Amino acid sequence: MKILIVSNQIYADDRVTNPVLQRMQKSLKRDKRVSGVELMPVVYSLTGLDNIRKAAKQSDVIHIHFGGLYALAIWLFLLGVNRPKLITFHGTDIHAKAIATERKLTTKIKIKFNQYASFLSILAFDRVGFVAKEMEHYVPKWLNCQLKKKAFVQSLGVDYYLFQPMEKEEARDKLHLGDKRYALFSTISNTNIKRQDIAEAIVEQLGVDYELLIMCGVRPSDVPLYINACDFLLLTSDEEGSPNIIRECLALNKPVFSVNVGDASLQLSGLKNSCIIDRQPENASKTIISVLQQPYQDNTRETLKKRLDFDCLNENIVGLYEKLMHY
């Protein structure tokens, strides 16, 4: 089986804005049922689009990641290519919550157009994936009938080969960090939706021994280094789909403290060393200190491997591909 993955989150010069797709590709290649996986960026030119169409004709399954106008345009450009076509939504492409913090009117309009294009994609594609079941609630009721027939959950995962545990001191030495207790905060530049202000206020409440370790714009290969160097993850976003940073931290046995956003409560369900916290900094800090005082016992890298490791998760996706190929 040959799989084609297309996304606007990949640049043509091999720079990646969302490294999860590359890790997904590597994991799919390890499945014995898969003979090849091509990961193609969207290049807005006739040559670029033609290359996608040629690759689609040579593939057995076409899977678009991230919705929006671009995804709908790719579907239209692939009319006549008789292959199963799937799309997976990752969060912002379906909930459009970024409008609330965006100041430019033109950007607000673009966000809304992309959201409605995602809605139309539900009608167009053969199957429609969501990285978290909760994201289906953002879809209008008039599409409920289509969702019942087409929807599936595509849980994202962690590359266990890349995300290897490392001694905290070794990771800190490589990052030239001190001896404080570090709360990891993962953000994207120029966005307010991650709410760094809340994270800073919580860390301030925790006391002088704590510091916010901001991870922004780092190389994908350095992400495990930052996680290994921290004491815990702090997630305070206004909106998320299914935060992969939570899975990555759990795969490295790091406690996670997150506000109730996206599927964070589901990811942290049943854990003793991680939990949902209040958005109010004083209440959040009290909860964090209380939990951190307890000995670590979750061992999430092993106990949650079946729902964290990409190799385990992709077994179901490849199974779905096989079913679609035989329809």
**Which residues are 177's β-sheet partners?**
none
The string of pLDDT tens digits covering residues 277-310 is 999 999 999 999 999 999 999 999 999 999 999 9
Write down the pTM of the prediction. Answer: 0.84
What's the sign of the alpha-carbon dihedral 232, 217, 113, 21?
negative
The string of pLDDT tens digits covering residues 209-247 is 999 999 998 888 899 999 999 999 999 998 887 899 999
CATH code for 2-157+309-325?
3.40.50.2000
The domain limits of the chain are 2-157+309-325, 168-307
What was the pLDDT predicted at 242? 85
With cut-offs at 50, 70 and 90, classify the pLDDT of residue 17.
low
What was the pLDDT predicted at 104? 87
**Which residues are 325's β-sheet partners?**
none
What was the pLDDT predicted at 100? 75
Tell me if domain 2-157+309-325 and domain 168-307 are identical in fold: yes
CATH code for 168-307?
3.40.50.2000
Residue 202 gets which letter from DSSP?
H
Neighbour tally for 269: CB within 10 Å: 11
For residue 12, pLDDT over 60 is answered with no
The string of pLDDT tens digits covering residues 129-151 is 999 888 899 999 999 999 999 99
The set of long-range contacts for 196-199, using a CB threshold of 8 Å and a minimum separation of 24, is: 196/236, 198/236, 198/259, 198/279, 198/281, 199/234, 199/236
Tell me the pairing of strands 181-186 and 151-153.
unpaired
> For residues 94 and 136, what is the distance between their CA atoms, to the nearest angstrom?
9
